[in-house]
Amino acid sequence: MCVGIPMRILSVDGIAATATDGREVSRIDLSLLGDLVPGTWVLTFLGTARDIIDEDQAARIGAALDGLRAVMAGGDPGDAFADLDARTPALPPHLQAALDAGRSQG
């Protein structure tokens, strides 16, 4: 399994960038996203930027990763997953429409 790490670009040099996740500074590959500017948040997988994200998404993903680190160290995740705890499960729109229409797989 590959975990996405949110990183903020500090500087760009062609298809590479220097970026930080707030803990460390790394060199990342930008070839899948094209021209980006410093300050842009990206979601990286194995050192490659795969998606442009906003600062709020980066903060939520970072909090979830912090919660996972805490659990893996034997601690409590705190409120790292508060956005999920407060949410009730929802069906994808096409399945909800089928349910509302009285159709079911059975």
Q: Do 42 and 53 form a contact (C-beta atoms < 8 A)? A: yes
Does the reported pTM lie above 0.75? no
- The full set of domain ranges for the chain reads 5-72
At residue 21, the pLDDT reads: 95
CATH tag, 5-72: 2.30.30.140
Helix, strand, coil abundance in the chain, percent, nearest 5? 30, 30, 45
Average pLDDT score, the chain = 88
On the question of pLDDT at 106 being above 60, the answer is no
% of the chain beyond a pLDDT of 90? 53
